[in-house]
Structure 1
Amino acid sequence: MIMKKLTMLALAAVFSASAFAQDVYKQISKIKDYKEAYNLLQANLGSLSAEEKAKCYNALVDLALDKVAKEQGTITSNQMAEQLKTKVEPYDTVGLYDAVMQALENGVACDEFDMQPNEKGKVKPKFHKSNGDRLYPIRFHLVNAGIYYQTSNPELSYKYLATYVESADYPLFKEQDKSKDPYLTQMAYYAARDAYFAKDYAKAEKYADVAMQDTAMSKDALQLKLAIMQNQLKTHEDTLNYVAKLKDIYAKDENNDVVFSTICSMLISISDKAGLNEIVQAKLAKDPNNFTALAMQGQAYMSDSKWDDAISSFNKAATAQPDNVAILASVGNCYMYKAQETAEKALANGKTLTPDAEKEIVGIYEQAIGYLEKAKDLDKTMQFKSFWAYSLYTCCYRALGPDDAKTKEAEALTK
């Protein structure tokens, strides 16, 4: 008799819990205010089964989509009104974007519980397909939202763009045709950029990888990825790991001069002369006139104060790009440093500068002036002024004297 009563009590508890769950769902279904319905569900989540949670979250999706449909309807009507030149009705832009985000977030939550095994251990989703079909098409509003908030609320703009990129891989959308997503790679670039500025480097790198799939912007995306990776370097070991990653990328695309030049710059920064020489020589063996390899070779020689070798490499690079201001300025700077070094040697141990030595030094300065003036003349916007302006003044001062018109003109350009 006691066992019978206990069994009856247990059954009553089960039926009571089931009835309560049904009651929560019924209440949510009757509520028209999204926030009220959402708060009700959150307050009762702990008492609901996975199946019941899925059902309630689906009701929230319905509620959010009602708002989306209402505002989309107004937008469509307005487009027609503009053509007919009749009255245009205002619509709730912020409310639309909020509702799209709510629909997606609740759709994901619904799918999580909908895909869980039932009491028999079988997965029998009730909402997966319908939610995938109706939610995937409204993702484009996330792009509009990202643009809308770009200046007024950058953090919110990033949230919408990041959600757009992330949602492409939601399990909820695994059956959707991703080939019809024209904005994914482009928006991934902007999301990566926003994540980079927010110092969320893991996300930034993830989104940059997606953006790199876009042929039109793969170069920009790669440069962004390199900047992201570089900003995470804190130790020598980090730098070595970064160089190793760069070499892996380069091994897959040895024609990529952006990656090649970055590897060279990093090898220079850690004074790995052997490694730098190896990769540069390998590049020049395949492409003797490669501008980037010659420029990097010149920079390496320059860092070792091998002025003549540097001048030779830079001049070969200048043959490939005769209007490159930075390269021409680099040749000029090499001549300037060579002149200074020649003067130091001539005056070593208290020696007096002979007329022949002075003539030689001035001649080297004059060679420097020739290249630096070419750089100046090509640098119409003064973008590379720091490369040549002070050097030009220094050379003119030493070769022509402080009162020469060229010297005074060069001095004015340093200010």
Structure 2
Amino acid sequence: MVRAKDYRHGLERDSRGRWTVDAVKQVSYDVLVRRDLLKVDDPFLADALRGCVAGAGNSSDRRLLIVDKVVDTLYGPAIDAYFIAHGFTTAKLVLDAHEQVKNWGSVDAVLAAMDQFGVDRRREPVIAIGGGVLCDVVGFAASIYRRGTPYVRIPTTLIGLVDAGVGVKTGVNHRAGKNRIGTYAQPLLSLLDTRFLSSLAVRHISNGMAEILKVALVKSRPLFEHVERASRGDLRVLFEDDQHAGLADYVIEESIHLMLEELQPNLWEGTLERCVDYGHTFSPTIEMHAVAELLHGEAVAIDIALTTGIALERGLLSEPDAVRVLDVIAGLGLAPWNDVLARQGLLTEALEDTVRHRDGFQRLPLTDGIGTHVFVNDVTPAQIAAGAAFVESYVSSLAPWQESVA
């Protein structure tokens, strides 16, 4: 076969009327931490929003804001005042955004707002201000509107700061499937402001701490020890009280760094063995079967507890360390157990569903001691049952005051 290649364009043509197109798309985005983004006399946010589209042609100060309903209640006037003070012309869609409405209907609402606003897909990035659900919904909508519209994330929850706000995956639930439809679509920019955390209910702090614990258990014993320290204190003041600033900043920034360290070389998941999938093997099914009662991080915590029991059963983790992990989960205000785990066959079905999404293999990350991990492909129903029995036994042994937490 004779081939001629135009190296300028990455195009090959052979003598049989076939062309091979070879192209590479460069991906680059910034994740910036900045406290008090909405402080009117600080131009940082305005400069960042203009700078991320510099060079895209004629400048535009029109912006469509998609804001979580709760966030708008708390920060709506401050958001409006900031954008007015810095010369932006804005429209705002206030969106109810939580797991029960993380679906196509929410995506369609964002698409309609983008169309009505007349978004210029090169010069006017859509701004998402809200939690992880809102960031996912807006990211997905932006990625499919006119085959790709730029967007900026400003996550306002802990789980948004350390998980949903830093990667490139977008997705919403479809039928009974967790994040069953979605895309890989990087933001132009993710702006992380820990000041938003001061208004979070403690449940949502716990929810985000589950994702931090996930990263710590598979990648960093020092981070685990910091999370353990936080679990022994009052989470309500962890991100409010200046005396805890060192612990809070370390926990957030180290977890973001470790997460990005894993994501950056594998943004499109060409490699399916991903240690950051820890806590996400059984949790998608658990979460969808208890969607009315569980937040995402709460389902992840249950998965962590279950796989801790499996690691114990397989001899990868000592019993003292396994109990220590569950102590931290409970100390963070997370329940290691939910009655959905007792449903006949549910966990086996959950693993089977995950296998379908991991190219026919379990590729299940388990802790090999605290702070390191291994991947396994041979977890059996008996080991799953043993892991669940360990968690159930732990919960039943808790003092009455702890049972209210678990």
The bucket for the TM-score relative to the shorter chain is under 0.3
Q: Which has the higher contact order (CA 8 A, sep 6+)?
A: 2
Question: TM-score scaled by structure 1?
Answer: 0.25
Structure whose residues are more often helix by fraction: 1
Structure whose residues are more often strand by fraction: 2
* Rg larger for: 1
Question: TM-score scaled by structure 2?
Answer: 0.26
